[in-house]
Amino acid sequence: MIVYHVIGITDFLTCLNQGYLPAPVRAWETIKEAERFSKQTGRALILRLKFPEEAEKLFGHKNMARVLYNHYPLSIPLNGFNYKEWETKVKGTKKSKVKVPLGQ
C-alpha cells in the first residue's frame, strides 16, 4: 500500500543521517490528506512510502491514517549529495523580515 508521510526538513535530514524513520511511523492514505496535514503543521516534505497492506489504522484521523511500529529504512540514492553541508545551511538560516509598504 502506498502512503504519504509528512515531515519537516530538519527532521528529514536527521532521519537521512540515521538511515531510517524512527518508530512509530505514521502516514496518510491519500496525498490530499497529507497535503492538508502539511499545511496545518508547516512541515514542508511529503514522503511516498510503501506500507504492508495489514498496517494498523490510527484511531480517529478520519480513518485515513496508518501506523507502523517498526523503524522504516530510508534507501535514497544521494549520488554524491552532501546532506550534512546542506543541513548546516538550512539550520543556519534565519527567517528574513519582509516589510510590506502600506498603501501609497
Has residue 66 been placed in a domain? yes
Tell me, what amino acid is at 4? Answer: Y
Place of cell 502512503: 3
pTM above the 0.85 mark?
no
Q: Is residue 103 part of a domain?
A: no
In a domain, 98, yes or no: no
Within a domain: 17? yes
Full domain range(s) for residue 85: 2-92
Residue at 18 is within a domain:
yes
The per-residue pLDDT string of the chain (104 residues; one tens digit each, 9 = 90 and over) reads 999 999 998 898 888 888 899 999 999 999 999 999 999 999 999 999 999 999 999 988 788 999 999 999 987 666 666 666 665 565 555 554 444 444 43
What distance in Å separates the CA atoms of residue 50 and residue 3, rounded to the nearest whole number?
6
Is 30 domain-assigned? Answer: yes
The domain tally of the chain equals 1
Does a structural domain hold residue 99?
Answer: no
